[in-house]
Amino acid sequence: MALAILSNRLVSPCLMMFLCCVLIGLLSSFPAAGDGVKLTNISAPLKDYAELGFALPANVDVETETLSEENYTSGRELMASLLLNGSRVTLHLLYPCQAPQTMLEPAAMRSLLEAYNPALAQANYSSELLSVGGMPAVGGMVQNQIFVAYQPTNQTPALVVMDGDIDEEIFVDFLQYLRITVNEGASLLTPGYCPDTTTAPSQIDTAASGKVTTTPAEARKTTFESNKAKMAADMQAAKEKLAAAKERMRGF
């Protein structure tokens, strides 16, 4: 594996720690059960909020990009992005103002995702549950991207977004071995950020729909809707990857 830092980018101390921990992980590897493929096990802190871990074949190039805290209409998020053999993978650890108290059913998870990013209302969801690190997940496709969402903890959902052209083996291995260990004693939701924690979720959704188009959610929607010319081919490729993931992950 090779590790690269984007040139001309100012690296924060937290991002530097993230990079260093990824680099340390690249120094160790272990064979994957049953197929003899040597995997590299990587773990790194996501600031003080969580620890990220995953495993990939040793010949996959891993490039770290960003680690940042962002706002969205009904909460905040911790966002980390990587390049895996040139394909971008972005992890969004969500801190919604109305945090779930239990494991969500697929329909409830979809509602949460659509409140986070309105573009996901146009997504094509898989009809069957997937698995991320042995935990149930929902997944689908939107424009030229594949996404999978699950709950590392009840109150902190995670969304993983991948380029539609990501290699199928990397796609499956990354999700199979992905783990996000959340520090439940830390939260991005600073006092006063959520204006009224007693407001019903339906009221929050209604308020969010009335926001001006310059909100962070709308900016993300623009990103999701780019490269429309590739949509048909990318969606077909994504369907095949999701089907392969379902078969490979069955029983984990």
The model's pLDDT over 4-62, given as tens digits with 9 standing for 90+, comes to 222 333 345 554 444 444 333 333 334 454 456 789 999 999 999 999 999 999 999 99
pLDDT digits (tens, 9 = 90+) for 84-140: 999 999 999 999 999 999 999 999 999 999 999 999 999 999 888 888 998 999 999
pTM of the model: 0.69
Max CA pair span of the chain: 54
Distance from C-alpha of 71 to C-alpha of 54, rounded to nearest angstrom = 26
pLDDT at 209: 38
* CB contact set of 10 (below 8 Å; sequence gap of 6+): none
Note the pLDDT of residue 227.
38
CA–CA separation, 94 and 112 (whole Å): 10
Across the chain, mean pLDDT equals 76
Q: Residue 195's pLDDT is what? A: 80
Query: Which is higher by pLDDT, 229 or 81?
Result: 81
Q: 113: closest CA among 133, 89, 84, 137?
A: 137
Q: Are 189 and 163 in contact (CB under 8 A)?
A: no
Structure tokens at 133: 């690190």
Residue 13: the pLDDT is: 52
- By percentage, how much of the chain surpasses pLDDT 90? 55
Three-state secondary-structure class, residue 88: strand
